[in-house]
């Protein structure tokens, strides 16, 4: 039976693992005539980089990450510093994931896949896994290893099996152990790296790509390669550990005015942008500590990455950025996403099953059942304590819940000393108790979700309606507070924090900076007046209809997105929030820029000041 064994450090404390964020800047490949502009972003050191402030070209904004890979960094260096350190975990029953994020054309596929001459993270990581397996098999006689792969793409919100291209959209399910599984997904056993190559290369050709104005061969889907390593003990108690490595090449966020997308490309782009927007919402919820209602289910991508963000995997995110000016706003958005992702904390555990030896026929049957990429954990004879829900997914237990849990534990204790038939009866009771727990948990989750939704709506409405006219100039800060109020209300009481507090010494990312224009007094009066009107309009809009469509790309815009984006700035932002695209597309930012410019040019006495918004609320 499967069990989750917490990973402890030397002092016996349960280990957590922060998402490691690396940023890779690709070399300049813009047209010759654009070269005079120079790059808009550059590295300052092994961890820091700076980007020009679009609100004031004389300023730059600095970011700090775990690693910064400059333009000259080789594929080997990226692998050694960012990926190699996490691969050994897979051989110890833990999960790990590497995902490439960034705008279209910034080098994600180059980083993950590479070319024949410059192989990327995927071939290097798989080779490393086979090398580690060989070493461990040589040094540890009692263990045997089996390696397998699955490969899928999420195209237009459909999960497609790249190893079996004729298959239809596959469902995503969660098993009783909270593992995300895809029934029907091909799982191919691998004996060596060349075996992997033979399956992977043709499957990669099945991935949907197309040419856009920004990338000759642009990925139109998110591709996820899963390498599964099962480590089985040859001797009793026949422990079995299952580790998975997810290697993810995300599709890039796209600004459709620049990609020139139309028709089917535009539809693909809408699906890509929406799933990346959900990814961003997931990161925001994790940072706000609202793990009870993290919107993983809002897109297939986030559902599949559930384990990598706020879950049990050791995760590395490689954010790819481009130096050309035409990518400026995409780079800016990607850096802000990377900056907030580095606060996410995962809780790794070892996935282990323990079993008595089974007869040949059963062994064969179980081997076949494990073919869909799932751990083979449906063994009947149990020699150890049964599996409990992982700490991450444990909700505060209601009295009824805990009594069932106690019963379950007591039964499992009894099982250790009982003869075979009794054990089987007890196992049945255990299974029933587990089902009861599951039902109770689902009910509880549902209630929690309802409660937090109600809190959110009530909090949002009262904050917006309760504002006096005289407070209009404070709009930016007030909505900031409103947003924070919402996240506090939605936070479940017993949830462990998943956000590391901001380090005092840390370079403030751009996200926490806002540049505002201070106009002359005459203009100021007029602006205040317009702000009042806009605030009133926005207040009414939010109260009447908490959900709107983006006028630009017609995707659904939620209340919290509006308030979040209003916190970033001035009057023009208030105006632009009415037509905001939830994918964070550059349209909004360019509109914002035009409005700020036109306001500033009307005043000769514009003074620019950098103000820092209040630090992120700590838990
Ligand atoms: N580090 C690098 N060194 C040299 N060339 C690079 C590098 N990174 C990217 N490139 C080149 O830039 C182009 C675009 O890269 P790539 O296709 O990997 O982008 P992408 O982010 O995957 O785009 P999309 O999201 O549209 O698929 C390719 O021609 C690639 O070879």
Residue 256 has pLDDT above 50, yes or no: yes
d(CA 568, CA 483): 12
106 in any annotated domain: yes
Is there an atom of ligand 1 within 6 Å of 251 CB? yes
Q: Are residues 421 and 319 in the same domain?
A: no
What pLDDT, on the 0 to 100 scale, is given for residue 29?
82
Is there an atom of ligand 1 within 6 Å of 114 CB? no
Model confidence at 607, pLDDT cuts 50, 70, 90, reads: very low
Q: Which of 350, 374, 405 is the last residue of a domain?
A: 350
Q: Which of 286-295, 318-327, 474-483, 504-513 has the highest mean pLDDT?
A: 318-327
372 in any annotated domain: no
Q: Are residues 310 and 403 in the same domain?
A: no
pLDDT per position as a tens digit, 108-138: 999 999 988 999 999 999 999 999 999 998 8
Model confidence at 286, pLDDT cuts 50, 70, 90, reads: confident
518 in any annotated domain: yes
d(CA 63, CA 354): 46
d(CA 400, CA 444): 11
Residue 293 has pLDDT above 70, yes or no: yes
356 in any annotated domain: no
d(CA 516, CA 272): 32
Question: Mutate which of 71, 215, 273 to test ligand 1's pocket (most atoms within 8 Å of Cβ)?
Answer: 215
Q: Are residues 343 and 412 in the same domain?
A: no
Half-sphere exposure of 325 (CA within 13 A, CB side): 12
Q: Are residues 62 and 144 in the same domain?
A: yes
Q: Which of 281-285, 350-354, 487-491, 534-538 has the highest mean pLDDT?
A: 281-285
Helix (H) or strand (E) holding 320: strand 314-321
pLDDT per position as a tens digit, 544-592: 554 454 444 444 444 444 443 443 344 444 444 444 444 444 444 444 4
Hey, is 356 helix, strand or coil?
coil
Q: How confident is the prediction for the chain on average, in pLDDT?
A: 67
Q: Are residues 186 and 332 in the same domain?
A: yes
Residue 165 domain boundaries: 2-350
| Residues 6 or more apart in contact with residue 404 via CB below 8 angstroms | 433, 436, 437, 440
Q: Are residues 326 and 412 in the same domain?
A: no
Q: Are residues 518 and 412 in the same domain?
A: yes
Q: Are residues 162 and 264 in the same domain?
A: yes
What pLDDT, on the 0 to 100 scale, is given for residue 157?
86
Is there an atom of ligand 1 within 6 Å of 269 CB? no
The alpha carbon of 114 and the centre of ligand 1 are apart by a number of angstroms equal to 9
Is there an atom of ligand 1 within 6 Å of 110 CB? yes
Q: Comparing 141-155, 414-428, 479-493, which segment has the lowest mean pLDDT?
A: 479-493
Residue 72 has pLDDT above 60, yes or no: yes
More confident residue, 432 or 339: 339
**Nearest CA among 400, 458, 388, 427 for reference residue 178:** 388
Is there an atom of ligand 1 within 6 Å of 519 CB? no
d(CA 223, CA 208): 9
As for how many domains the chain has, the answer is 2
141 in any annotated domain: yes
* Structure token digits, residue 449: 């979700």
Q: Are residues 306 and 415 in the same domain?
A: no
Global ipTM: 0.97
Task: Give the E-state strand segments of 65-217 in sequence order.
Answer: 67-69, 96-101, 143-155, 158-161, 173-174, 180-181, 188-190, 209-210
Q: Are residues 220 and 159 in the same domain?
A: yes
Q: Are residues 307 and 426 in the same domain?
A: no
Residue 199 has pLDDT above 70, yes or no: yes
In ligand 1, the atom with minimum distance to the C-alpha of 218 is: 26
Question: Mutate which of 110, 320, 323 to test ligand 1's pocket (most atoms within 8 Å of Cβ)?
Answer: 110
pLDDT per position as a tens digit, 17-53: 788 999 999 998 866 555 566 788 889 989 999 998 8
365 in any annotated domain: no
Within its chain, how far is the Cα of 129 from the centroid? 24
What pLDDT, on the 0 to 100 scale, is given for residue 263?
62
Q: Which of 289, 320, 350 is the last residue of a domain?
A: 350
Is 16 annotated in some ligand binding site? no
**CATH assignment at residue 129:** 3.40.850.10
Residue 271 has pLDDT above 50, yes or no: yes
């Amino acid at each position: 039976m499967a069990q989750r064994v917490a990973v402890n450090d030397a002092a016996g404390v349960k280990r957590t693992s922060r998402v490691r964020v690396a940023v890779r800047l690709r070399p300049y490949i813009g047209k010759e005539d654009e070269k005079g502009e120079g790059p808009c972003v550059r590295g300052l050191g092994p961890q820091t980089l700076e980007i020009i402030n679009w609100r004031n070209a004389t300023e730059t904004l600095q970011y700090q990450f775990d690693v910064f890979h400059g333009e000259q960094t080789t594929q080997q260096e990226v692998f050694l510093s960012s990926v190699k350190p996490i691969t050994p975990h897979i051989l110890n029953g833990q999960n790990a994931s590497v995902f490439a994020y960034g705008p279209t054309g910034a080098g994600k596929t180059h980083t993950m896949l590479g070319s024949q001459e410059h192989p990327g993270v995927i071939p290097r990581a798989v080779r490393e896994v086979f090398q580690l397996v060989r070493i461990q098999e040589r040094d540890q006689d009692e263990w045997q290893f089996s390696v397998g792969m699955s490969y899928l793409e999420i195209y237009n919100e459909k999960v497609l099996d790249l190893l079996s291209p004729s298959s239809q959209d596959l469902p995503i399910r969660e098993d009783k152990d909270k593992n995300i599984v895809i029934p029907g997904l091909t799982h191919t056993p691998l004996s060596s790296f060349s075996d992997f190559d033979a399956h992977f290369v043709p499957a990669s050709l099945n991935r949907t790509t197309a040419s856009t104005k920004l990338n000759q061969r642009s990925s139109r889907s998110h591709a996820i390669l899963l390498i599964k390593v099962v480590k089985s003990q040859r001797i009793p108690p026949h422990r079995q550990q299952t580790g998975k490595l997810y290697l993810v090449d995300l599709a890039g966020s796209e600004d459709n005015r620049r990609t020139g997308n139309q028709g089917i490309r535009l539809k693909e782009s809408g699906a890509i942008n929406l799933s990346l927007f959900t990814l961003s919402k997931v990161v925001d919820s994790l940072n706000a500590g609202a793990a009870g209602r993290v919107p993983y289910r809002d897109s297939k991508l986030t559902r599949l990455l559930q384990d990598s963000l706020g879950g049990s995997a050791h995760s590395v995110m490689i954010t790819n950025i481009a130096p050309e000016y035409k990518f400026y706003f995409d780079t800016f958005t990607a850096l802000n996403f990377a900056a907030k992702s580095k606060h996410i904390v995962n809780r790794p555990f070892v996935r282990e099953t323990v079993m008595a030896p089974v007869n040949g026929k059963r062994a064969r049957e179980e081997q076949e059942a494990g073919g869909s990429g799932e751990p083979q954990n449906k063994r009947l004879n149990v020699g150890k304590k049964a599996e409990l829900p992982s700490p991450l997914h444990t909700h505060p237990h209601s009295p009824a819940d805990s009594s069932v849990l106690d019963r379950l534990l007591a039964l499992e204790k009894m099982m250790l000393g009982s003869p075979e038939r009794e054990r089987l009866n007890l196992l049945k009771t255990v299974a029933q108790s587990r089902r009861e727990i599951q039902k109770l948990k689902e009910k509880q989750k549902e209630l929690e979700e309802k409660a937090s939704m109600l809190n959110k709506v009530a909090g949002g409405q009262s904050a917006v309606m309760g504002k006096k006219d005289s407070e209009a100039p404070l709009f930016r800060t007030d909505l900031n507070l409103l947003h924070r109020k919402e996240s506090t209300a939605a936070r479940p009481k017993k949830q462990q924090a998943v956000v590391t507090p901001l380090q005092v010494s840390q370079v403030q990312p751009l996200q926490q900076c806002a540049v505002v224009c201070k106009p002359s007094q005459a203009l100021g009066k007029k602006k205040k007046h317009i702000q009042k009107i806009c605030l009133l309009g926005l207040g009414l809009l939010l109260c009447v209809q908490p959900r709107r469509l983006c006028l630009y790309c017609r995707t659904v815009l939620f209340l919290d997105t509006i308030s979040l984006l209003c916190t970033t700035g001035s009057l023009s932002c208030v105006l632009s929030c009415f037509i905001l695209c939830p994918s964070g597309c550059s349209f909004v930012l360019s509109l914002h820029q035009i409005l700020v410019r036109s306001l500033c040019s009307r005043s000769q006495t514009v003074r620019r000041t950098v103000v820092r918004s209040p630090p992120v609320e700590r838990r």
